[in-house]
Amino acid sequence: MREKKLILVIDDLESNLQTAGHFLLEAGFEVSLINDGKKGIEVAKRAIPDLILLDIVMPGVNGIEVCKLLKNEELTKEIPIIFLTSMKEKEQIVEGFDAGAVDYIIKPANKYEALARIRTHLELKQARETMIEQNKKLKDLFEEKRAFFEVSSSQLMSPINSIRGYNDQIKVYNLKNDNSAELQNLTQQIEINARSASSTVNDLLYLYNLEEGNLPSVVDSFNINLMIKKIIEEFEPEVKVNRLKIVFDTEVDMLTYAVADKDKVEVVLKHILSNAIKYSHFFKLIQVNAKVITDKRKLILVDIIDQGVGMSSEDLNNVFEKYSQLSPKTAHGELSVGLGMYTVKKLIEEIGGVINIRSAVEQGTSVRLCFPAI
């Protein structure tokens, strides 16, 4: 890396070159002075200056053409170019910007104004290069972590999947032989706990990524009705096993869209609906409602209401705490490490939503989610 910034000056007039060279050297820059556009391009490719001062009107290849050629070259396209122009050439400035120039200086140049413009664009170039480098490092780091979590997830899930596989074999064996009710109950409990362990692993990995900043929010507009219907369909096996019924009513029309990170909203809705299923007694109803309100801005409200075990006021106060172990147990024996609602709260905060929970012991829980809409 050069100790001093190199400024390339391309101008066909010797007097202009000498003037520019003098005040640039005086200001502490390295300087290269070229009196021909074609030669200027060759020097730029070879020396890769930090900035180019380029005269517009020159014989042969003029400044506009030089600028276009430099901007089409991979080696030189990022070098900031400032045009040198006279008052009578001002109409060519727009053409110069179109060619890729970042600024212009009117000749005869005021030394202090010229230096201010040069330093500003050098600082902008440095900031841009730093940002590109940081983005590259972040991208590399993200890829490394992504690869790590893919391997970790596979290693953690492998024994759980093996347990579920062996459990399926036991079920088949039991059906072919004495079909013992006791063994059937045992395999059902194994399946419940294996599914719960699998969910816990996924929650841990997702939360780690979230807290590490590996899941940046991407705002999108999407139809909340279609998302909710899709999620309900995905939970159909659990709903059948637990002998529940889910009813979805919506007042949100097809022209109204939620505006948030789509993936994160989906994770939130899945967590809430999963809890409603896990904490509901057999043969109970889970109601999902969606509507639009306008309170200073347009909002979509989603209510998920169950008739499950409910929570005490003390549990409600701790429901968003990390690893919170609440007193109500799931209705069907699933395990919980207390990450779901903590994750939901973090996601809601990130996407600019709101969550409110009302609950009473053995009366059920009502969760209201609020998302920006258009």
Determine the Cα–Cα distance for residues 261 and 348; give it in Å rounded to an integer: 10
304 and 191 together in one domain: no
Mean pLDDT across the chain, nearest whole number?
86
- Closest by CA to 304, choosing from 351, 246, 236, 352, is 246
Range of the domain at 311: 218-374
20 and 146 together in one domain: no
How confident is residue 366, by pLDDT bands cut at 50, 70 and 90? very high
Please report the pLDDT score of residue 336 as a whole number: 59
Burial of 47 (0-12, 13-18, 19+ CB in 10 A): middle
Residue pLDDT, tens place only, 224-245: 999 999 999 988 888 888 899 9
Indicate whether 46 belongs to any domain: yes
How confident is residue 1, by pLDDT bands cut at 50, 70 and 90? low
Q: For 82-114, b where at least 16 C-beta lie within 10 A, e where not — what string?
A: bbbbeeebeebbeebeebbbbbbbbbebeeeeb
Determine the Cα–Cα distance for residues 257 and 272; give it in Å rounded to an integer: 21
184 and 252 together in one domain: no
CB 112 within 8 A of CB 156: no
Residue entry with tokens 């070098």: 79
Please report the pLDDT score of residue 156 as a whole number: 65
202 and 235 together in one domain: no
Provide the H-helix boundaries in the chain: 14-26, 37-47, 63-71, 93-99, 111-176, 181-211, 224-234, 236-241, 262-278, 313-318, 340-351
Q: How many CB atoms lie within 10 A of CB 286?
A: 23
361 and 232 together in one domain: yes
Mean pLDDT of the region 172-199: 72
Q: Which amino acid is located at 318 in the chain?
A: N
CATH of the domain at 86: 3.40.50.2300
174 and 155 together in one domain: yes
Q: How many domains does the chain contain in total? A: 3
155 and 195 together in one domain: yes
**What sign does the dihedral 274-276-281-287 (CA atoms) show?**
negative
How confident is residue 160, by pLDDT bands cut at 50, 70 and 90? confident
Backbone angles phi, psi at 61, to 5 degrees: -85, 115
Determine the Cα–Cα distance for residues 97 and 194; give it in Å rounded to an integer: 63
374 and 227 together in one domain: yes
